[in-house]
Amino acid sequence: MLKQHFRVCFCFWRHFKQISAEVSEDIEQVFKQYSEDGLMTVKNLCTFLIDSQKEIDASEEFAQEIFDSLRLLHLFPRRGLHIEVFFRYLLGDHNLPLPSPPKVYHDMKAPLSHYFMYTGHNSYITGNQVYSKCSTSPIIEALKKGVRVIELDLWPNSRKNGVDVLHGGTMTTPVELSKCLVAIKDNAFSASVYPVIITFEDHLPKHLQAKVAQMVKNIFGDILYQPNTDFQEFPSPEELKKKVMISTKPPKEYLESQSANRVQNLRKDQLNDQIEEEEEDLQNASPEYKRLIAIHAEKVGSNIQESLSLEQGKVRRLSLSEQELKNAANYCGNLLVRFTQQNLLRVYPKGLRLGSSNYNPYVGWTHGAQMVAFNMQGDDKYLWIMQGMFRANGGCGYVKKPEFLMNVDQYGQFCDLSGAEQLEVQKTLKVKLYMGEGWLREFHLTHFDWCSPPDLYTVIKIVGVPSDISKKKTKTIDDQWEPMWNEEFEFELRVPELALLLIVVKDYDSYKGHEFAGQTCLPISELRPGIRSVPLHNRRGNRYKHVKLLMRFQFV
């Protein structure tokens, strides 16, 4: 029992008793079951890992490694662990809720269209979309977190003799394209060996396109992937290990869009003549630029259903805004799913998101969209969900789509998202939250309240298809840095392949609004059963050093 003192004014202090985290009754019973004479031996620990934690590959050698690491931090008899050290083990990094160390276990030999890809939007912007700085820093940070698709907007520089990266039509300050490309090369495979795709939003005249082609080849060299012919089927992530690919519109589409802007009042035959002349001139001047493009992007026409039609012997990428996707999902959802079985679909935030906020990624994911592009510099709940999805599969940036998204008939059965009650429950997840710790070590004494310890509560939510969304909330523990909740909840899962467990801790404050105290988001498909230590992260998704929860997960 500790006492803390908060000064309220010059002559008045508030005093609070702090209760240190106690071993819960559940954990005491587990320890008794797997210990002898008050000590847990290496063999006992191994049995606990296999039977209780469902780690079927655990061995006595692995249990001994845990013992050896615990001896560096705690004193305990050579014969075995006493309950206090066992409790600290449960709260340690040897006992995380996802596989550790992270491991790629999905089949990586299917075509690219079979995978969700960790995708950035305007990857060079440091803040808002209107007047913030453009830099290589957010590109580097994204790649180090496993992002695999980087977007660059290309514009002529002020002298029209070079290429800058910036958000066109805004006050964002530019950064040179060459610096962005070097940053990508130096950091592309720091978090994952699987391919990096660079999407160019091209606003360049033909002579600068040729300059870009030469720059890209010089900087990336042998790691640049340039196919000899157009793809009839996309290659796999396994085939493309440690390769960089370029995706943009071919020169013809670029010229069509540029010419349309310049000569809107020309007759159709005049416009076609001008496009043909410009296209022929570019083909003579810069065939390198066309050969640079590995993944061809096409403009979505006024008839979305025509744009989504399949072309024999050809695969491509289309881009839709979040609003365009919603509209398409309402009247041709099956066409979206069929298109994304072979082709790539990129979804990007609507233009009104000037503050770099994000949107619900599930509209894209449930319709097979591989590239759901996000503003990675944000700190909203949808970004936490995105980070949670791509903690799966070893954090490699590629997550294989569920089988029902590769079969339109199954899609109709499993993802008729309006019929939540019609879907059959596949499994039930039981979650018990025991306690939390680490806030006092992570934050200043008055971080949450200048005159008292925090009043912490936890929201546990399933995010996924509408039929699975569910939200539970614990009671608030007043004036404690190490809250003990000991509460259990159940969640029915109908589409567990796409379900994530979102956990958010807040400090209750009815005056200034509940204050953020940590979050994490975990893929249900990789959640390890048993009693687990769950580290929390800040708003940006960076892990806290000390803040964690002790939880138990059971599937029934």
Bridge-based pairing state of the strands 515-523 and 500-507: antiparallel
- pLDDT digit string (tens) for 24-74? 999 999 999 999 999 999 999 999 999 999 999 999 999 999 999 998 888
- The single residue listed with the structure tokens 């309220």 is 8
Structure confidence at residue 541 as a pLDDT band (50, 70, 90): very high
Who wins on pLDDT, 516 or 450? 516
| pLDDT at site 556 | 93
| pLDDT at site 284 | 45
Please check the confidence at residue 458 and state whether its pLDDT lies above 90.
Answer: yes
On the 0-12 / 13-18 / 19+ scale of CB atoms within 10 A, 305 is: exposed
Please check the confidence at residue 420 and state whether its pLDDT lies above 60.
Answer: no
Please check the confidence at residue 273 and state whether its pLDDT lies above 60.
Answer: no
- Annotated active-site residue in 167, 203, 207, 367: 167
| pLDDT at site 3 | 65
| pLDDT at site 88 | 94
Q: In whole angstroms, what is the distance from residue 511 CA to residue 419 CA?
A: 40
| pLDDT at site 407 | 79
Q: In whole angstroms, what is the distance from residue 220 CA to residue 185 CA?
A: 6
Bridge-based pairing state of the strands 371-374 and 115-120: parallel
| pLDDT at site 271 | 46
- pLDDT digit string (tens) for 177-217? 999 999 999 999 999 999 999 999 999 998 999 999 999 99
| pLDDT at site 302 | 85
| pLDDT at site 275 | 45
- Annotated active-site residue in 106, 114, 121, 296: 121
Angstrom distances, CA of residue 283 to CA of 211, 256, 286, 396? 14, 14, 6, 38
Q: Does residue 121 have an active-site annotation?
A: yes
Q: Does residue 167 have an active-site annotation?
A: yes
Structure confidence at residue 111 as a pLDDT band (50, 70, 90): very high
CB atoms under 10 Å from CB of 554, counted, come to 14
Please check the confidence at residue 416 and state whether its pLDDT lies above 60.
Answer: no
Structure confidence at residue 451 as a pLDDT band (50, 70, 90): confident
Residue 359 is classified by DSSP as: -
Contact 148, 117 (CB under 8 A): yes
The whole-number average pLDDT for the span 297-314 is 89
The whole-number average pLDDT for the span 321-338 is 93
Angstrom distances, CA of residue 500 to CA of 149, 369, 385? 22, 18, 7
Structure confidence at residue 15 as a pLDDT band (50, 70, 90): low
Q: In whole angstroms, what is the distance from residue 69 CA to residue 472 CA?
A: 36
Q: In whole angstroms, what is the distance from residue 136 CA to residue 149 CA?
A: 15
- pLDDT digit string (tens) for 133-160? 999 999 999 999 999 999 999 999 999 9
| pLDDT at site 14 | 65
| pLDDT at site 95 | 97
